[in-house]
Amino acid sequence: MKLPLILVNFKAYEQATGESAVALAKIHEKVAKETGANICIAVSALDLARVCSEVSIPVFAQHTDFEGYGSHTGHILPDMVKEAGAYGTLLNHAEFQLEDETLEKCILASKRAGLFVVVCANDPQRAVKVSGFDPDFVAVEPPELIGGDISVSKAEPAIIEKTVDLVGKGKVLVGAGVKTGEDIKIALALGASGVLLASGVVKANDPYSVLMDLVSGLN
């Protein structure tokens, strides 16, 4: 995985599902090609195969379970996600948190399937705990700042520094309220390897311009 990276979570926003998911994914791909930035996206399971077939940038599932092939109705199998063309998976988001035992199984199953695993954590202490399950990256996101107007970079810079110190450089993404290139620049200066964000891009009137501004913070 090329660093630093920008991972945009499409969540289940109307602007980022169905045909809109494909269109938005292509905007991300356009910016990535124009700038050389490593831009990844996490999309709904319902849109995963279609989006993967339409763009060349890394596409993540928004969740994977730990079950393998068999009688597991309704579960999102890591092997099926990989077969659909996904690069990785996003686990334990604040909106979809897992118990430790389940999370560890999901990480193991996803890595066994060949997926790159990003695991979310609410704070530095939780980041240390989940990093012990051996994900590829830990994304620390204070839940009270998610979707807000002030980024973690500006509101709680100490959280970034502490998480990097405890988990290690080259292993930490940060998120919550990230919307600008300046937010990214601060996060990288504090030791992060990239950012995880959502509404700042997905709900923007001009996602292309927002992404170009975000990419400016990588330099």
Q: Measure Cα distances from 6 to 24, 103, 205 in Å.
A: 15, 23, 19
Instruction: State the Cα angle at 174 between 33 and 148, rounded to 5°.
Output: 100
Rounded CA-CA distance 64/91 in Å is 7
Q: Which residues are catalytic?
A: 93, 141
Token duo for residue 24: 């938005």
Q: Are 17 and 47 in contact (CB under 8 A)?
A: yes
Rounded CA-CA distance 136/25 in Å is 23
Token duo for residue 39: 């831009």
